[in-house]
C-alpha cells in the first residue's frame, strides 16, 4: 500500500506541478555559467568541520501521544526505541559546504536537470509572482510557485545569488542530491529515529528541542513564521526566510535548528503506520519501511505557523518524493561510530 504525507503545504513534490522537463544534464556552457555565478562563495570543507557530536544511543521514547495532528502524519504511538551510538553534525550542511561538493565533483542537482524548483511566492518580485501564479502555482498550496531556474545556488531563481548567505543551509536539494553529498563526504543521512533522538537533546517527550514552551520568557528559539500565514511574516524572530545554520541556542546535545529554518531529509521511507507494529524492525535501530514513494523529512521550516502547520514540534514529520526540491528543504549528516 502506498503511503503519502497528507498535504503539499510543507514541501510540495514534483508531482504537485508537472511541467515539461529536460532529463539531460546541463551542457558545458551552463556548467561554466554556474561556476561563475557561485564564484563569490568561498567553498568550505565537508561537514566534518560542523563540530559533529558523538551520541551514545541507547533507549529513548520516540513519537508523540494523540495531539490533534492528522492520522496520516503518523506521529504516534509513543514507543521505546533503542539506537546504536552515532555522530551527527551540529548543524545543517551550508551553502558554502555544498559549493565545495559541487566544485570538487561537478555535481548537477535535480533542480538543475529539471530546470525549476519550488519557491515561496513572497520571496519573489511582485512582477515575477504575478506572472507565475497563473500557471506555476501548486493547486493545494498556491503560495508555492515552480520557478524556472531556481536551484541551490540561485534560491529565488535568476537574479539573486548566494552572496551573504554562505552560512545558510543549502536548499533546493533533493533527497537524491543529499545522498550524493553524503557519499562524497564519507557520511550518510540520519535515520528518522536517529534524527529525533538527537533533536530531543536528552529531554524526554518534550514538545520542542528546548522544552514544552514555544517562546520561553518571550524569547524566540527557532526560525518559524510570525504574523498571518501566508501573506505577512513579521520576522519577529529576526528572519523571514532561511537563517544561518547556527542561529538560536542549541539543544542539550549541541544541535542547532532542530525546529524551524529548513526541513531536513532523513534516510527512511515515509509511512503513517509501519512503526506501529511491535517488532525488532521498528524498535531496535529502526530504518523505516523497506519501500515507499516519499522520504521522511523532519524539523519544520521558516514557513511553519500554528494556524496552518505546526510541524516544528520535535515529533512532527512530513515527507516528499526523493527527486523533489524546495526553498525550505535541506539536510545534515551522520556517521557511524
Task: Give the residues of the chain that fall short of pLDDT 70.
Answer: 1-9, 17-40, 42, 44-50
Q: Which pLDDT score, from 0 to 100, does residue 102 have?
A: 98
Q: Which pLDDT score, from 0 to 100, does residue 31 have?
A: 46
Q: Which residues contact 92 (CB under 8 A, 6 or more apart)?
A: 169, 170, 245, 257, 261, 262, 264, 330, 331, 332
Q: What is the DSSP letter of 270?
A: P
Question: For residues 293 and 318, what is the distance between their CA atoms, to the nearest angstrom?
Answer: 12
Nearest to 251 by CA among 214, 199, 303, 301: 199
Structural domains of the chain in order of their starting residue, each with its CATH number: 39-336 (3.90.1580.10)
Q: Which pLDDT score, from 0 to 100, does residue 29 have?
A: 38
Question: For residues 44 and 104, what is the distance between their CA atoms, to the nearest angstrom?
Answer: 11
Q: Which pLDDT score, from 0 to 100, does residue 34 have?
A: 53
Nearest to 89 by CA among 156, 178, 206, 5: 178
C-alpha cell at position 259: 525546529
User: Could you give the C-alpha distances from 139 to 7, 82, 86, in angstroms and in order?
Assistant: 11, 41, 41
C-alpha cell at position 264: 531536513
Residue 109: exposure state from Cβ atoms within 10 A (0-12, 13-18, ≥19): buried
Q: Which pLDDT score, from 0 to 100, does residue 69 have?
A: 78
Q: What is the DSSP letter of 16?
A: G
Q: Which pLDDT score, from 0 to 100, does residue 212 have?
A: 97
Amino acid at each position: 500500500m502506498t503511503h503519502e504525507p497528507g498535504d503539499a503545504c510543507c514541501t510540495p513534490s514534483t508531482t504537485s506541478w508537472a511541467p515539461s522537463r529536460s532529463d539531460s544534464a546541463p551542457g558545458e556552457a551552463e556548467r561554466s555559467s554556474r561556476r561563475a555565478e557561485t564564484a563569490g562563495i568561498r567553498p568550505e570543507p565537508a561537514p566534518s568541520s560542523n563540530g559533529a557530536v558523538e551520541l551514545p544511543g541507547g533507549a529513548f521514547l520516540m513519537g508523540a501521544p494523540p495531539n490533534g495532528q492528522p492520522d496520516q502524519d503518523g506521529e504516534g504511538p509513543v514507543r521505546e526505541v533503542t539506537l546504536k551510538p552515532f555522530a551527527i553534525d551540529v548543524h545543517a550542511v551550508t551553502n558554502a559546504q555544498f559549493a565545495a561538493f559541487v566544485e570538487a565533483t561537478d555535481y548537477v542537482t535535480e533542480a538543475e536537470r529539471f530546470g525549476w524548483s519550488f519557491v515561496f511566492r513572497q520571496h519573489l518580485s511582485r512582477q515575477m509572482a504575478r506572472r507565475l501564479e497563473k500557471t506555476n502555482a501548486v493547486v493545494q498550496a498556491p503560495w508555492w510557485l515552480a520557478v524556472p531556474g531556481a536551484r541551490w545556488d540561485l534560491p529565488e531563481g535568476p537574479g539573486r545569488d548566494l552572496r551573504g548567505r554562505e552560512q545558510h543551509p543549502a536548499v533546493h536539494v533533493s533527497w537524491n542530491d543529499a545522498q550524493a553529498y553524503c557519499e562524497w563526504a564519507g557520511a550518510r543521512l540520519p535515520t528518522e529515529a536517529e534524527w529525533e533522538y538527537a533533536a530531543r537533546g536528552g529531554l524526554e517527550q518534550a514538545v520542542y528541542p528546548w522544552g514544552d514552551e514555544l517562546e520561553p520568557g518571550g524569547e524566540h528559539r527557532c526560525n518559524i513564521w510570525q504574523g498571518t500565514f501566508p501573506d505577512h511574516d513579521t520576522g519577529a524572530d529576526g528572519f523571514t526566510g532561511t537563517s544561518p545554520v547556527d542561529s538560536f541556542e542549541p539543544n542539550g546535545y549541541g544541535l542547532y535548528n532542530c525546529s524551524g529554518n529548513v526541513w531536513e531529509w532523513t534516510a527512511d521511507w515515509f509511512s503513517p503506520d509501519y512503526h506501529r507494529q511491535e517488532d525488532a524492525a521498528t524498535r531496535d535501530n529502526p530504518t523505516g519501511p523497506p519501500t515507499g514513494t516519499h522520504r521522511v523529512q523532519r524539523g519544520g521550516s521558516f514557513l511553519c505557523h500554528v494556524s496552518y502547520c505546526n510541524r516544528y514540534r520535535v515529533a512532527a514529520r512530513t515527507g516528499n518524493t526523493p527527486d523533489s526540491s524546495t526553498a525550505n528543504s535541506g539536510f545534515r549528516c551522520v556517521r557511524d561510530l
